[in-house]
Amino acid sequence: MTQQIRNMYDFHVWANQTMLTHLKKLGKDVYTREIQSVFPTVSKVIAHIYVVDAGWLDMMQGKSMNEAMADSVPLTADAESKSMEELEMMYVQLSERFKAYLDEQASLEETIVLDNPYAGVRETSRAEMLLQVVNHGTYHRGNITAMLRQMGHASVMTEYGLFWYAG
């Protein structure tokens, strides 16, 4: 495993935590307020990022995409029912599972077959899958930023360049 791939995952964890810390300052009303946007609430975006992260870890560990998607249904309901603080703890536990998995890998470059029921079969590496996790989170943190502005609140910067200086 290259250090760069691991560093990208560490960035993802940092960016999620930075956003959650900001959201806690804004309060539960902002977190759960229904608006007309990409997602109906910020809380649903945060839950979505969590559920998709968990699914990608399951797939990296050998679960099929169909299995991971089936498992996401009850996991989504569970994540969406949690408070910010509870979901924050779930993120911490998931990142610990991810990091333990990454630490066990001699390389993430081994090619595996990913069978996406919507897009087809593709060979990919676990490194690429991990970059997808990071990219997906970045995309949806951008959604949260737009949603916060729509509600009249500032967001918080979570870009990779800032992460370089945060540690």
Return the exposure string of 6-15: e unless at least 16 CB atoms fall within 10 Å of the residue's CB, then b.
bebbbbbbbb
- The structure tokens listed for 22 are 């900001």
Report pLDDT for 3.
83
Residue-level pLDDT at 167 = 67
Which letter, b or e, does each residue of 57-90 get, where b requires 16 or more Cβ atoms within 10 Å of its Cβ? Answer: bbbbeebebeebbeebeebbeebbebebeebbeb
Low-confidence ranges of the chain (pLDDT < 70): 1, 167
Give the type of residue at 167: G
Q: What is the pLDDT of residue 95?
A: 97
How far does the chain reach from its first CA to its final CA, in angstroms?
21
- How does DSSP assign 44-77, residue by residue? HHHHHHHHHHHHHHHHHTT--HHHHHHHHHHHHH
d(CA 14, CA 83): 20
Quote the CA–CA distance of 60 and 112 in Å, as a whole number. Answer: 9
Residue 106 is predicted with a pLDDT of 85
CB-CB contact of 75 with 155 (8 Å)? no
Which residue, among 26, 25, 19, has the nearest Cα to 162 in the 3D structure?
19
Distance, in Å, from the CA atom of 105 to the CA atom of 132, rounded to the nearest integer, reads: 18
Q: What is the pLDDT of residues 2-30, one digit of tens each?
A: 788 889 999 999 999 999 999 999 999 99
